[in-house]
A and B are shown apart, each in its own frame.
Chain A
Amino acid sequence: MFDKALHQVLFGVLFMTAVTLAYGTFYDRGFVPSVAGVMGLGDSEHHDRQEEHDDD
């Protein structure tokens, strides 16, 4: 049962990563920033600056 649960957890992490990457690629900042984002290396300050610039 433990192995089955572990496999499902690995599948779930991969699936949700893929779905979030797809969302980030088509509806947010593109593929490369989304990959950096899901790896925990995102640059939210750049995003904030861009939003402020868009507001101006």
Chain B
Amino acid sequence: MTRLRIPTAFDLLLFWHGLFVGAYTVAYLTAEGAPALHEFSGYAALALLAVRLIIARLAGQRAPWALPLPRAAQWKNFARQLLSGRLGVLRGRTPFAPLSGLLILGVMVLVSLSGLAADWWKWEDLHDGLAEGSLALVLIHIAIVSFAPLLRRLAAARSEDAAPSRLQTP
């Protein structure tokens, strides 16, 4: 039997993230050929961004809704571990993930506001340029957050492959 439980703040953040990715994807795909749908999904993305920033303001320093501002201690710890040759640190959560998230949030605010300007005052070139540039940032974010899980899965697959051969040796 499936048990219902109250979603945690982190579940709600992931839900928001999913909706925002959906709004961005639809807005990107409809940019060239479906202006009404582009405006609809663009306004949805703007509303979701506003919700995110308002909750971040109310949450203050409390995780997970606080803005992922870079912390010097986190970067120092990460650099110290890398310099001491502990490459296993790359399999965990690196400070690059929250940094790329913060950069995306900032760029998305600019993209959404320029979209508003494109709608009201026909400043379309600015919006087009920012939106095209944001895709590169999104792809970098995907690469960064996928890197650690990919490394972990490769390591797990390697250890699974190695386990039977160890058993077979006399």
Contacts and interface: CB of A to CB of B under 8 A. Distances in A.
Interface of A: 2, 4-5, 8-17, 19-20, 23-24, 27-29, 33-34, 36-44, 47
B37 A44 contact: no
B100 to A, nearest CB: 14
B75 interface: no
Interface of B: 14-15, 17-23, 25-26, 29-30, 32-37, 40-41, 44, 145-146, 148-149
A38 B9 CA distance: 31
A12 B37 contact: no
Nearest to B25: A13
Contacts of A43: 33
Contact of A37 (B18, B22, B34, B149): B34
Contacts of B21: 9, 12-13
A40 B29 contact: yes
Nearest to A41: B33
B19 A15 contact: yes
Nearest to A17: B26
A16 B149 contact: no
A33 B14 contact: no
A38 B34 contact: yes
A45 to B, nearest CB: 9
A10 B149 CA distance: 18
22 contacts: A2-B149, A5-B18, A5-B145, A8-B14, A8-B18, A9-B22, A12-B19, A13-B21, A15-B19, A15-B22, A16-B22, A17-B25, A19-B44, A20-B26, A24-B34, A38-B29, A38-B37, A39-B29, A42-B32, A42-B37, A43-B33, A44-B32
